[in-house]
Structure formats: structure tokens, C-alpha cells
Structure 1
Amino acid sequence: MVQVLMQMGLLILFGAVWRTLRPGGLDAGTTRHVLTTLVFNLLLPALVLTVLWDARLGLDSVKLSLYGAAIVFIGAGVAWLMGRAGRIQRHRLGAAMLGIAFANITYMGLPLLEHLYGPRARAIVVHLDVFAGMPLVLTFGLLIARQHGTPPRGEGSLLRPLLVNPPIWAGIAALALNLSGIRQPAGLQHFLEPLADAVAPLMLIAVGLSLQWQAWRRANLPLGLAVMVAKMIVMPLLGLGLAWLLGFRGETLTALVLEAGMPCMLFGVVYCDRYRLDSGFYAMTVLLTALSATLTLPFWHRWVGSLPA
């Protein structure tokens, strides 16, 4: 596990160093935007098609999607309780809710689980993200940002982000092909596989490009540490209980707990900027949870992996 995190850390470090060196004159924001746009519009849909087209669909598929959705709502509830207890300012509470509710399921979760469990881990990530996390980010996450921030003028419908979402459409197409019994042509599979394999390393570099060291502020530290504890300790514990109740055991149980304990999602920064939430605070929570993950994820992997099947 430590070796896997070190390998991932090198790619994240490469992205972080890019912010300072700016090879070819390309700044971190532009480079990250290019990478994430490529991943979102081409590589991730290829991964979704590859995984779901020939996947075995059944009750576990439904339970994985339910788990992914439940973790989001539980996380939002934990943040809401923190807000009630601490009387947190609205724009900062919205950032905290986004940070605790939405984990970095794909950008960090996919590379880690793929290193630990091989290609079969892709199905877990796709179910959690495409059929739970991503639709909720674009609906429930947007509602959180609107409720706690200031919506820009002339904003469109909530449904539009779902209608122009290549990974979700790829998931729908893959499910239709799967259920119709059409087998994936070997030639197409050979074309999609290299695209799918490129998702993990590019996403890790994007994580490094997104780290904002200047976001470290002493005033943000107390609540930032509280969010870190909630995200990296409380959420995996709650995720463990939920996954156990749903009947998951063994490597799948461990993988689900690890996903519940992933750092804050990067996309939250976009919502914070757009809706005038506390962007500096959110960036700090991303950094704190990413750093603490080097300690917490190995612990959860070792401890949950030792539980009886």
C-alpha cells in the first residue's frame, strides 16, 4: 500500500512541480484544464464503455450505486451537523459540505484501487462515480453551492449539466449494449483499452496541478482540521458500517471503505469560485485531506482487510 501511494505521489508531485516550473510557458490552470477536459470528454467515456459493456450486472451493481449515493448524503449530513454545532458562516459551511460529501472517487480512487486490486476495481469506481457520485455532484452538489453561496445571473437549468455529460451517456450506452446481449468487438476493445489506461496517470497529474499551497491560512485551520477528521476518519467508519449492512465483504468491502475515505473532490473549487463560497478554505481542505491520506488510507486498507469475511 505504501509503495502504491509513493508511486501515485510521484505523479502528483510532478503536477505540483509543474505549477512552479511552467514548462513551455504553460501555467498550471491551463494545463489542468486541458488534461481534465481530455479525460472527461474522451478517456473517461472510453473507460466507462470498456468496463460496463461486458460487466456482470446484477444486485451488486444496484447496491454499489446505492452505497455511492448514500455516502454523499451522509457526508452532507455530517457537515450540516458540524455547522449547527459551530455556527459556521454560510459561505464556509457550503464549502465544508461539498468537501465532506464528495470524495475524490475517480481522480485518486481509481489509480489506487487499480494498483491494489487490478482491472476489476474499475467496475467499483464506475458504479460509484457514473451512477451515483457524478450525477449527484451535478445536482445535489449544485444545490448546496446555490443554497450557501450567490448564484450568478442568468444561470441555466439544473438538468443541463446532466444532458451534456459524456461519461454518463457512455454509461447509458454501455448498459443498453450490455443488456441487449451485444458483445464488444475485439477491434473496438483494442482501441478503447489504451484510452482507458491513460485515465489514472493523467488524473493524478491533474491532482498535483490543483494543489494550492497559498490557500494555507491560520484562520482556516480549526475548521479545516475538523473537515479533515470528518472526511478521513468519520466517513470511512460510516462507510464501513453501510457497506457491511449491504453485504459486502473481502476486497470489495475494503475498496468501498477506501473510497469513502478519499480526499475532497477537486471539482468543488469550481463551485466555490462560481457561487462565491470560501474558495481558499476549500482549497485548504483539499490539501489537508490529500496529505493526511498518506496516513489514513494505509490504516483503513490494513485494518478493514483484516476483518473476517
Structure 2
Amino acid sequence: MNSTLIQMTLIMVCGAAWRFAKPAGLSAEQTRQVLTTVVYYLLLPAMVLEVLWSADIGLHSFQYAWLGMGSIIAAMLCLWVIGALFRFDDRRLGAMILAAAFPNVTYLGLPVLEQAFGSWARSVAIQMDLFAATPLLFTIGVIVARHYGEETAKSPRPVWLFFHAPPFWAAAAAVILNINGVVAPVWLLGVLQKLSAGVVPLMLFSLGLALSWKALTVRNIPYIIPVAVIKMAVMPLLAMILVGFLPITGEYREAAVLDLSMPSMVLGIVFCDRYRLDSSLYAMAVTVTTAISLIALPFWHSVLQQ
């Protein structure tokens, strides 16, 4: 695990260095937008299709969904209780709930799980994302953002339109092909594998581009502490308790819980910007929890293996 995290950290450092160097005059924001667009619309759908087409899809897919949803909702409730007790400002509380509840199950979770457990673990990360984290983010997450923030778009998009996305279409196609026993042609499988190979390094590089040390401010420390504690300590514990009620065992159990132990997801900052939540606080939460994860993930990995 330590060797894996060192390798991934160095790739993220390359992204962070790009933010300062700006090669060819390209800013971190410009570069990240292009890379994440390519990953989201081409490379990630290719990986989803490749992995889920041959994955063992069945009852355990619903178990991943229940585990992920239960852990995320429990983390949201924990932060909401803390916010109610200390009467946090609405804009801050909304950002804190999103940061504490939604883990970076794909952009960091997928490469970590793949390196720690093997290529089979990609299926766990993808199913946890598509069947648990993303559906909750675009439903309950949007509700939370709208409640504590304000809608900036003149004509708000219906929630269901957010599922009209390439990874979901790829997942739907893969599940249909998988269930019907269709065998992937060798030439197509080769193309999907080559496209999939670019997902992990570009995801990690993009994550490095997203980390902003300028977001670290003293005034946000009192708000970051409960987020970091819930995200990196309480939520993994909750996941370990919940998985005990599900028939998920062995390495599948370890991979699922470790995926839910990831730091705050980067995508949440888009919701903070759109609904006028505290974006700088959320950006700081991503940076801080990602830094803490370099210590927390090896710890939880060792705990899960006992």
C-alpha cells in the first residue's frame, strides 16, 4: 500500500507542479478541464464497458449499493448534527456536508484499489460509484446544495438529466451484454483496454491539478476539523459496521470499505459553485483530506486485513 501511494502521490505532485509552472501558458484549470472532459466522455466509459462487460454482476452489486448509500447518508447525518449544534452558516454547512459524505471513489479510489488488490477491484470502484455515490450525489446531494445554497441557473435542469451521461450509458450497455452472455470481440476488447490504460494516470494528474494550497486558510480550520474527522475516521468505521450486516467477505469486503475511506471527491466543488456554497472551504477540504489520506488509507488497509 505504501509503495502504491508513493507512486500515486508523485503523479499528483506532477499535477500540482503544473499549477505553478503553467507550461505553454496553460493554467491548471484549463488543463484539468480538457483532461477531465477526455476522461469523462471517452476513457472512463471505455473502462466501464470493459470492466462491467466481463465482471461478476449479481446480488453483490446491490450490496455495494446499499453499503455505499448507507455509509454516505450516515456521514451526512453526522455532519448535519454537528452543524445544528454549532449553528454553522448555511453556505458553509452545505459545503461541509458534501465534503464529509461523498468520497473520491473513482478518481482516487479506482487507482488505489487496482494497485492494492488487482485489476478485479476496478469493478468494485466502478459499481460503488455508479450504483451508490453518483446517484446519491445527483439526488440527495443536489437537494442539500439547493437547501443550503441558492439556484444560480435561470432554468434548473431536472435531476434525472444528470444521469444522461456517457459512463451511465456505458454501464447500461455493459450490464445488458454481460447478462446476455455476449462475448466481447478480441479487437474491441483490445481497443477498450488501450483506452482504459489512460484513465488512472490522467485521473491522478487531474486530481493534482485540482489541489490548491491557496485554499488553505486559518479561518476555515474550525470547519475543516469535523469534516476531516468524519470523512477519514468516522465514515470508514461506519462502513466497517454496515458491511458486517452484508454477505460481502474477503478481499471484496476490504476493497469496498477502503473505497469508502477515500478523501472528499473533487466533483463537489462544481455543486458548491453552482449553488453558491462556500467553494473555498470545500476546496480546502479536498486538499486536506487528500493529504491526510496518505496516512489514513494505509492504516485502514492494515485494519481491514486483520
Note the aligned Cα RMSD (angstroms): 1.1
Aligned to 2:182: 182
Does 2:136 match 1:136? yes
Aligned to 2:90: 90
TM-score (norm 2): 0.97
Cα deviation code 1:131-177 (max 9, x no counterpart):
221222222211111111010122221222112x1101111111111
Q: Distance in 1 between matches of 2:290 and 2:88?
A: 23
Q: Distance in 2 between matches of 1:23 and 1:98?
A: 33
AA paired with 2:159? L
Which consecutive residues of structure 1, in runs of 5 or more, have no partner in the other structure?
none
Greater shift in the superposed pair: 139-148 or 100-109: 139-148
1:212 Cα deviation (Å)?
A: 1.2
Contact 1:91 1:276 in 2 (8 A): yes
Question: SS where residue 159 of structure 2 aligns?
Answer: coil
Aligned to 2:249: 249
1:266 Cα deviation (Å)?
A: 0.2
After TM superposition, which residue ranges in structure 1, 4 or more long, deviate above 6 angstroms?
none
TM-score (norm 1): 0.96
Aligned to 1:103: 103
Question: SS where residue 159 of structure 1 aligns?
Answer: helix
1:265 Cα deviation (Å)?
A: 0.4
Aligned to 2:8: 8
Contact 2:128 2:256 in 1 (8 A): no
Greater shift in the superposed pair: 277-286 or 177-186: 177-186
How many pairs are equivalent? 305
AA paired with 1:280? S
Aligned to 2:76: 76
Alignment of 1:1-309 (within 5 A): 1-152=1-152, 153-163=154-164, 165-306=165-306
Greater shift in the superposed pair: 153-162 or 213-222: 153-162
AA paired with 2:86? G
Cα deviation code 1:269-294 (max 9, x no counterpart):
11111111001111111111011111
Contact 1:51 1:122 in 2 (8 A): yes
Q: Distance in 2 between matches of 1:93 and 1:131?
A: 26
Contact 2:125 2:256 in 1 (8 A): no
Identical-pair percentage: 43
AA paired with 1:218? V
Q: Distance in 1 between matches of 2:185 and 2:20?
A: 44
Q: Distance in 2 between matches of 1:54 and 1:249?
A: 21
Q: Distance in 2 between matches of 1:181 and 1:261?
A: 34
1:219 Cα deviation (Å)?
A: 1.1
Cα deviation code 1:239-277 (max 9, x no counterpart):
111112112222222212211211000011111111110
Contact 2:75 2:234 in 1 (8 A): no
